[in-house]
Amino acid sequence: MTHTLILGDYAYSSWSLRGWLLFEKFGLARDTVMLDFSADDPLADQLSDYPPARTVPTLITPDGAVVSDSLAIAEELATRHPEAGLWPDDPRARATARSLAAEMHSGFAALRNECPMNLRTAYADTAPSPGVLADLARLETLWAHAAATGGNGPWLFGAYSAADAFFAPVAARIAGYDLPVGAAARAYVDRHLADPAFRRWRAMGLVRGATLARYAQPHRVVDWPGPAPRAARAVTAGTPENSACPYSGRPVTDLMDMDGRIYGFCNPFCRDKTVADPEAWPDFMALTG
């Protein structure tokens, strides 16, 4: 048996992004169950098969434990998979990383409430409130403290850790609402936007589920500020270079064109997530070499 990870909408569920990154970035196997944010049924009702879960992400461990909190998921995975390296090895860095993740988990209410994560849309001229500006100043303080504590490397504590997973949706908010931060914080945000795992999550968010009007904000819409995806398109005819889907290994049924070459996938979602950002998917890119 393996872990089961229950998630919400790719485009809008910031806590689900955290939970997914804890598995994706550290190479941990899982089966995934997706809930429907557009359904009339509340999430708690959609989770009725997994009592007492009421929120996403929820982790069902191989021995049947129900873990319905992202910070608890991080700690449980670190305990069960110490080889994965979810937290820094250095004791001081590890303690600091846990402190930062816990503060992110419980704080920053203005940023959360006024700038809900929306990976389908980016805005400009957002005029952040004093509460959001105070949250941004606190983030810069925490990230600078991490940089002074951690080891060499591009992330908060050198190598990617669970703390970075907790701040990934914050990076999406800062970028998506064009919020004012200094150069060091902006560079950290840009690292998240360029991270292939983050790009994979966003690609899935662009093609799975409905655009939900309740997340729209009254600001000027602009292009997403992350790396521009390589051009590709879905097609209905052509001879694919591959006979098996690069993700599932099953026979191909759905096609895409990139650079005049045809590739096949086992279902429309596999194709569409690849069309959305081909270079985010190493298994696909291996076909193009």
pLDDT tens digit sequence for 81-108: 999 999 999 999 999 999 999 999 999 9
pLDDT average, residue stretch 153-174: 97
Query: Is 1.20.1050 the CATH number for 91-200?
Result: yes
Q: Please tell me the total number of residues recorded for the chain in this structure.
A: 289
pLDDT tens digit sequence for 44-59: 999 999 999 999 999 9
pLDDT average, residue stretch 164-182: 98
> Which pLDDT belongs to residue 89?
95
Confidence of residue 12 (pLDDT cuts 50, 70, 90): very high
Overall pTM surpassing 0.85 (yes/no): yes
> Which pLDDT belongs to residue 167?
98
Share of the chain above pLDDT 90, in %: 96
The count of other CB atoms within 10 Å of the CB of residue 213 is 6
> Which pLDDT belongs to residue 165?
98
How far is 244 from 284, CA to CA, in rounded Å?
11
Confidence of residue 30 (pLDDT cuts 50, 70, 90): very high
pLDDT average, residue stretch 239-263: 98
Confidence of residue 40 (pLDDT cuts 50, 70, 90): confident
Per-domain boundaries in the chain:
3-84, 91-200, 233-285
Q: Which two tokens stand for residue 238?
A: 């052509």
The count of other CB atoms within 10 Å of the CB of residue 187 is 12
Residue 21 Cα distances to 85, 165, 169, 173, 256, angstroms: 13, 6, 11, 17, 27
Mean of the per-residue pLDDT values of the chain:
97
pLDDT average, residue stretch 210-229: 96
Helical residues (DSSP H) of the chain, grouped into ranges = 14-24, 43-46, 70-80, 91-106, 109-114, 130-149, 162-176, 183-194, 196-207, 268-276, 282-285
pLDDT average, residue stretch 131-148: 97
> Which pLDDT belongs to residue 204?
98
Superfamily of domain 3-84: Glutaredoxin (3.40.30.10)
What CA dihedral angle connects 221, 223, 226 and 232, to 10 degrees? 140
Confidence of residue 212 (pLDDT cuts 50, 70, 90): very high
pLDDT average, residue stretch 164-178: 98
Residue type, 210: A
pLDDT tens digit sequence for 147-156: 999 778 899 9
Give the DSSP per-residue string, 87-129. Answer: S-SSHHHHHHHHHHHHHHHH--HHHHHHS---TT-EEE-----
> Which pLDDT belongs to residue 1?
79
pLDDT tens digit sequence for 256-283: 999 999 999 999 999 999 999 999 999 9
How far is 9 from 222, CA to CA, in rounded Å?
22
